[in-house]
Structures are given as C-alpha cells and as structure tokens.
Amino acid sequence: MSGTRVTHHRPLRALALVAGAAAAAVLGPLVTGPAQAAHALPRTGFELTAGARWTTAAEERALLGAVDRTPGAAVTRIGTTAQGRALRLVRLGDPGAPHTVLLVCGQHGDEPSGREACLTAVRDLALPRDPAARAFLARTRLLVLPTANPDGRAAGSRLTAEGADVNRDHIALRTAEARAVAAVLRDHLPDIVVDLHEYEGSPPSAEPEVLDLWPRNPNTRPEVRRASLLLSARVRAAAGEAGASTGTFGLRAGPAAGGDADRAAGGGQERMLRNAAGIKNAVALLVEVRAGPRGPWDDPVRERRRRVDNQRAALRGVFAFSAADRDRVEAATAAARRPGPGPLFLGGADEDPPAPGRTLADPPCAYRLDAAAYAGVRGELALHGVAVVPDGEGALVPLDQPLRGLVPLLLDARAGFHLVPGRPLAAC
C-alpha cells in the first residue's frame, strides 16, 4: 500500500523505563510468540489466523474466562446491552495501587483493531514474565473494557443495536454501553483514560497512520490538559518508533473546509469520551488508527496487521508514559479533583472561545432542581458521580465538588447537551 509501512504482528513490548532526563528505552517482549505455550492463556483469533480474520465473540469469551482464572486478574460483567451481550471489565495489577489506567476499546463496532490490541494486551499482561511489566503492574491498576460495543461489533456497525453512537452519549447516558463506562469512571477514578478508534482514510492515503487528540473542552483543568498533551507526545513517539506517521485528529476539518465537524470530532463536545474524561479530571487521549483507503492492490490481511500493529504501538506509548510519569499524572489528577474558583464554559474548545453568552465568568454556587426535574435525572447524576443534596423540594447540586466543571454542562439551560435545566443560585 502506498505510503504505508506494513509489519508482521509483534508481541506487546515491555514498558519503558526513564532514568533522569534520558530517553526511554524499550525493553524486551512480554511474550515471544506461539512457541511460548507455557503462557497457558488462549491466543486471539486474530493471532491464530495471522490477521486473516478478527477475533470472534466466542474466542474473546474463552480468553477472558482464562484471564479471570489467573491469580491477580479479574473479569467482571458491568452491564448488559440491548441484545443481551455482556459488557466486561478486565482488572489487572495491584487493586490497591493509587495509579489507575483505563483502556476503552471498540466503542464503534466497525473499528475492530483497537479491540484486538486490547485483547492481546490483556493476555500478555495477565501472566507477565518481564520484570518491568511485573513492576508496572505492582504499582498500577490496569482496567480494560475490551469490547465497549459488543452489539455493534457483532453487526459490524458503528452504532449500538438501538442505533446510538456510544461516543456521543457520555453526558446523557442513554445507552447501557455509556452507562457502564460512566460507572467505571465514577467507581475507579482513573488517572489515565485512553479511547481507541479507527478512521477511514481518503485516497491517495496521505493521512497519517496514527492520529490522537487530547481533551479540548475548556472546563478541563489546565494541569490535566498539560499532562494529556505529554501523553499525546509519548504515544506519537512510540508510533513513530514503530514506523507509523502521526498527526492530530479532527482539527484539520470542519464546516468551513467542507468537512463534518461532528465526525471529525476535533472540538470540545462534552458528550465524547475524551472530553468527558478530561472534565472528570482524568488525563485522556483519543487514538485513531487509519483504516484504508482500500484498493484492488491492497492485501486485506496485511492491512489488518498494520492497523493492529499501530494500535499496539500506541498502547506501548501509553504504558511507557504511565510508568515514567505516574507522579506527574497523579499530581495533576489530584489537583484537578480539588475544586477551586474561576470561570466555567458552556461551549468552545481550547484555543477556540465559546460563543457570546456561554461563558460563566462568575459561576453560580449551585443549581436548584425541583422534585420533578431531580426525579428525571437522579440516576444519571449518580452514574456521573455528581454530589447532590436532596431535600423535600428536590435537590441542590453544588459546584463546590470535584466535578465542578461538569455540573453546568449537565444542568445549565445554555449548555448544548444539558440533561435538564436547573435554576442557578448566586448565593447558597
């Protein structure tokens, strides 16, 4: 394929260690390939067929069942889709560690390469043989949602069985898939959230092979945004080391350029996961691997391998950043969870000011919900982890809480995706 480096499937490499300001050195592989059968965990269908097909749902269940029987690992059902499929969360590493990394894979069911990379990472890390990997897991809680949209994956569709885009539902939480992700964010407070996707390239395939984007909603705390940009740089470096070209997702397109801004997803919409996670005080990154363009000259097997290899390279960058910069990340997320003063915004993006009338220069101290309004959204507020003070007349939702930047986006009538209009209070 023109402009594309095709590589054979490589095992996930061990984490990077950094000494002082020296460059990261990537260590040896966690597994060396099929000959290491003593690993005793199933290989994915993608691996077994050398990329000839994607891993089936039955193969995923077998792999995760074996992982669940591995000491120190756990696989739990955190939701059920409209068609009755399980949403499963894999937990690896030290459950008491202060540093938590969450991987969300396959929100769009027709973007399977991230799912393959996540399944392989789970298998490789469930029984880690490399000392660096064991040290990483001794200090980290790794959470993986390998298939975030199993109904869409079964149908080969971007959407859920109900026709919803999961990655536009992280405010309203109408889908079981988005509710499951929200509960994980609330219950585990991850320090790093990575969302793996694919995008369709356009002829003549000049776009980069790996794109990424950080939280751009202006209610993301500055320390979280800075750390997210550092994560972006490390992921791009890892992808570059693997031979992939890199760039920034979504900022190149928009209505003025004839593009679809919603599809390009370069803005600050709070309902997309990378932005929702940033507003919820997690260092976050969207990763997009190019799928195609395809032509009669393309080998589909080599194309699938390239896509998965690039997702795995991005994960190497995530793990290297987490291992080397955990103190910086934990300081950023801890500071962001301490509410403070300052303006809030109901639109816009970083370096893209909101429209007039959508800046809260002097935010209210709380929003008042009457009984009917509170009854309608109390479940969603609870899933988001928003602190509320119920009373006989409804509830008070204060801004003096860790999710200060989220509250107006949920309850201010001027916010584009608000759940219900609350009454802002100037004095509490």
What strands, in cross-sheet order, belong to the sheet with 283-291? Answer: 74-80, 86-93, 140-145, 99-105, 192-200, 283-291, 210-213, 246-248
**Residue spans of alpha helices (H) in 337-386:** 371-384
Distance CA 195, CA 203 (A): 26
Distances (CA, A) of 303 to 114, 158, 164, 344: 14, 20, 28, 44
Distance CA 77, CA 8 (A): 33
Q: What are phi and psi of 182, to 5 degrees?
A: -60, -40
Mind telling me the catalytic residues? 288
Q: Provide the 10 A C-beta neighbour count for residue 32.
A: 11
Cis peptide bond prior to 204, omega within 30° of 0: yes
Report the candidate in 221, 168, 193 with the shortest Cα–Cα distance to residue 284: 193
CB 398 within 8 A of CB 337: no
Cβ-Cβ contacts under 8 Å for 191 (sequence gap 6 or more) = 99, 100, 101, 282, 283, 326, 329, 330, 333
Q: Sort residue 51 into left (φ over 0), alpha (ψ -120 to 50) or beta.
A: left
Paired tokens of 56:
């089936």
**Residue that is written with structure tokens 């990537």 in the block:** 26
Distance CA 183, CA 200 (A): 30
Q: Provide the 10 A C-beta neighbour count for residue 36.
A: 13
SS3 assignment, position 413: coil
